[in-house]
Amino acid sequence: MHHQSDSAVRFLVSVFIILLISGCAAITAPVQEMSNARQTIQAARDAGAEIRAADSLKQAEQLLQQASQQLDDGDYISARSLALKAKQQAMQARQSALQKKQNE
């Protein structure tokens, strides 16, 4: 009887540790997301978005700046969300720039 109790306690402790570790992973600094957003913004610039999709590119840059500020403030959840939005906006700017380039 005592053996089953020890096994159950070990199991519950293991589950708790796994949940704790996975929860901590969700609130780490969004380093990769920030990097992805920066790279996508650069790809949009390389595609000519500064000229052909300036408004979209500017929005992406502003979102990245806001993400950077949130990162500095320690709000990793908001920083991650803003970085993902910046990347999405930069992808749209790049796509728009490429389409306009083809139509020239």
pLDDT at 32 over 90: yes
Determine the pLDDT at residue 2: 53
- The 10s digit of each residue's pLDDT in 86-100 is 999 999 999 999 999
Q: 68 φ, ψ to 5°?
A: -60, -40
Q: What are phi and psi of 61, to 5 degrees?
A: -65, -40
Q: pLDDT band for position 19 (50/70/90)?
A: low
pLDDT band at 20 (very low <50, low <70, confident <90, very high): low
Would you state the pLDDT for residue 12?
73
State the average pLDDT for the chain: 88
In this structure, the number of other CB atoms found within 10 A of the CB of residue 65 comes to 12
